[in-house]
Amino acid sequence: MEWSACLDEYEKLVIRMNTPRVVFDNAVCATATLVKVDSARKHGILLEAVQVLTDLNLCINKAYISSDGRWFMDVFHVTDQNGNKLTDESLISYIEQSLGTCNSVRFTGFKGLTALELTGTDRPGLLSEVFAVLANLECNVVEAKVWTHNGRIASLIYVKDCDSGSPIEDSQKIDRIEGRLRNVLKGDNDILSAKTTVSMAVTHTERRLHQMMFADRDYERDSTMVSTEIRPTVTVQNWAERGYSIVNVLCKDRPKLLFDVVCTLTDMGYVVFHGTIDTASNQASQEFYIRHTDGTPISSEAERQRVIQCLQAAIERRAYEGVKLELYTTDRPHLLSDVTRTFRENGLNVTRAEISTTGDMAINVFYVTDAAGNAVEPKTIEAVREKIGYSSLKVKELPLIYHKAAGDETTTKMGTGGAVLLSLGSLVRRNLYNLGLIRSYS
C-alpha cells in the first residue's frame, strides 16, 4: 500500500474515533426512546449532548453516564413534551446529525444581530427602563432572555438597527448604547457591579446567562432571600479510594434541569466520569462522579461549599413563582417598551422574560410578581390585559417549581454523612455495571 493511501486510512480512523456514534432504540424501554452516544472522551462533550436534546425541548427522564479510559458512553431516556417516544424520522435524523458532530457543534442562532449582555442589581421597573433606552436609540429587539436571582439580573438581548435592519456596527452608537444602559443598571446603588457589553459573537444564550450570573457571584448574594426549606438539596462527598468527588442533587423535577447542572459543573472546570439521573413522581435525583480537569477531586471544605452553592443557584435561576403572561401580537417599533411600561405603571415586576419574533409576529413570555415579590392580585392582571389587549395577552399560572413538602421530603431522602456516601458508592457502580455500560469503575 502506498504511503499516501496509508495516510488516508489513518485519517479515516481518526475521524471515526473522534466522531460520536449515535444509536436510537425504541424497543428496550416501554415509555421512552433510548438515545445512546459513545465516543472518545473530551471535556464538555456531555454538556453538548445534553444541550442538543434540551434545545429541542425534549425531556430526559433517565440517564446513565460512563467513562472507561479514554472513552465514554451516555444513555438518555428521552420523550417529547407530551411524554411520548420519539418517532418523527426527521427529528431523529436531526438529532443524529447534531449529536454525531458533538465534538465540533456550536450554537449558530441569532446570526446577523448584535448581542447586548447586561448584569446588575434587579429592581422593579428595570426592564422597562432598559427597553425604553433601546427604543430611544432606534434598536429593534429581536430576541432576548432575562433571568433574575438573589437580587441580581442578567440579560442577553439581540438587537438590530431599526432603520437598516442590520447589526449595529457604528462604534459611536455602540458607545452610546453601552453608556446609557450602564447608567440605567447602576441606578442609585450599583455603581461598581453594573456591567454592559456589546458583542457580535454567537453564543448559546442560556449557557451564557449561567456564565454571566456565575461571574456576578449571584450564588453568594442575599442567600436569605430563598428559604432554606425549599432549596434544592445538594451534597458533595469525596470517595478517596477512587479519587472521585461525588455530587448528589435532589429537587423538584423541571425542564432543562440536567442542562443547568451539567453546564455549571463544566464551566466550573469539573469533568463528569460517571453518573445516574432518574425522575419519579416529579422528583429528580442526579448523581455525578467528578474530578477537576487535571484529574484531582475536590480538595477543601471551602471548595465543597462553593460547589453546593453554585449548583443550588444554577437550579434556582429558572425557578420562579408568579404569573406567566404570554404576549402574542404583531411586532412593531417600541412594542416592548410600551408593554413593560404598562407592567411598571401597574406595579408588576418582571422576574424572567423570553422575547422572540417569528416573521412579523412577536412571541413574548413574562413571569411577573408584584413589586414586593408576592403574588399579583387578579384585578391588577385584568387591568394590564385591558390596557394591552385581552386577545394579545394571555394568562397562565406558573406551576411552583419547589414546594415546602418536597423540600422536607428530599431532606429526609438524602440522609447525612456516611450514609449518603455509602449509598452513592454503590448505586452508580451497580447501575452502570448491570447496564453493561462500563467494565471498570476507574
CATH number assigned to the domain comprising residue 324:
3.30.70.260
pLDDT at 422: 40
* Rounded CA Rg of the chain: 23
Which stretches does DSSP call E strand in 331-397?
348-358, 361-370, 393-397
Q: Which residue has the cell 434545545?
A: 55
Give bridge partners of residue 369 from the DSSP assignment: 349
Residues whose CB is less than 8 angstroms from the CB of residue 93 and which lie 6 or more positions away in sequence, other chains included? none
Q: Which three cell numbers stand for residue 130?
A: 432598559
Q: What pLDDT tens digit does each residue of the chain (442 aa) get?
A: 455 555 455 454 444 455 788 999 999 999 999 999 998 878 888 999 999 999 999 999 999 999 877 888 999 999 999 999 999 999 999 999 888 765 544 454 577 899 999 999 999 999 999 999 999 999 999 999 999 999 999 999 999 998 888 889 889 999 999 999 999 998 766 655 788 888 877 779 999 999 999 999 999 865 455 544 578 999 999 998 999 999 999 999 999 999 999 999 999 999 999 999 999 888 999 999 999 999 999 999 999 999 999 999 999 998 777 899 999 999 999 999 999 999 999 999 999 999 999 999 999 999 999 998 898 999 999 999 999 999 999 998 754 433 333 344 443 334 334 433 444 444 444 444 444 444 443 3
β-strand pairing of 323-330 with 361-370: antiparallel
- Are β-strands 283-292 and 71-79 bridged in parallel, bridged antiparallel, or unpaired? unpaired
Within a domain: residue 404?
A: no
For residue 255, tell me if it sits in a domain: no
41 lies in some domain = no
- Is residue 171 within 8 Å of residue 198, measured between CB atoms? no
Neighbours of 313 (CB within 10 A): 26
Domain range enclosing 194: 114-198+320-397
User: What three-state secondary structure class fits 220?
Assistant: helix
Q: Tell me the CA distances in angstroms from 182 to 39, 116, 149, 157, 177, one per residue in order.
A: 45, 11, 19, 14, 8
Given this model, what pLDDT does residue 61 score?
95
Cα(238)–Cα(299) distance, integer angstroms: 9
Backbone angles phi, psi at 126, to 5 degrees: -60, -45
Question: d(Cα 123, Cα 371) in Å, to the nearest integer?
Answer: 8
Query: What is the total count of domains within the chain?
Result: 1
Query: How far apart (Å, rounded) are the C-alpha atoms in residues 12 and 6?
Result: 10
Among 320, 311, 205, 204, residue whose Cα is nearest residue 254: 320
**Is residue 262 a part of any domain in this protein?**
no
**Which of 119, 130, 116, 126 is closest to 350 using CA atoms?**
126
- List Cα–Cα distances, 117 to 54, 92, 124, 413, in angstroms: 23, 34, 19, 40
Q: What cell numbers appear for 394 in the block?
A: 394571555
Which amino acid appears at position 55 of this protein?
A: D
In order of 53, 153, 180, 317, the CA distances from 156 in angstroms are 22, 10, 16, 15
Instruction: Return the pLDDT at 111.
Output: 75
The single-letter DSSP state of residue 356 is E
Q: Please state, in angstroms and rounded to a whole number, the distance separating the CA atoms of residues 81 and 57.
A: 7
- Could you give the CA distance from residue 393 to residue 338 in angstroms, rounded to a whole number? 13
pLDDT of residue 350: 95
- pLDDT score recorded for residue 92: 94
- Whether residue 176 lies inside any domain: the answer is yes
Q: Do 318 and 256 form a contact (C-beta atoms < 8 A)?
A: yes
**Nine-digit cell at 151?**
437580587
Q: Which pLDDT does position 11 carry in this prediction?
A: 52
Domain assignment of residue 48, yes or no: no
Cell of 159: 438587537
Q: How far is CA 5 from the centre of its chain?
A: 46
Q: Which residue has the cell 426527521?
A: 90
**Residue 89, SS3 per DSSP:** helix
Distances (CA, A) of 233 to 241, 408, 421: 25, 10, 15
- How far apart, in whole angstroms, are the C-alpha atoms of residue 428 and residue 441? 9
Complete edge-to-edge strand list for the sheet that includes strand 361-370? 195-199, 114-121, 152-161, 139-149, 348-358, 361-370, 323-330, 393-397
Note whether 106 and 128 are within 8 A (CB): no
For every residue of 8-77, which 3-state class applies, written as one string? HHHHHHHHHHHCCEEEEECCCCCCCEEEEEEEECCCCHHHHHHHHHHHCCCEEEEEEEEEECCEEEEEEE
- Contact (CB, 8 A) for 133 and 181: yes
In a domain? residue 123: yes
> CA-to-CA distance for 176 and 95, rounded, in angstroms?
42
Domain-embedded: residue 183: yes
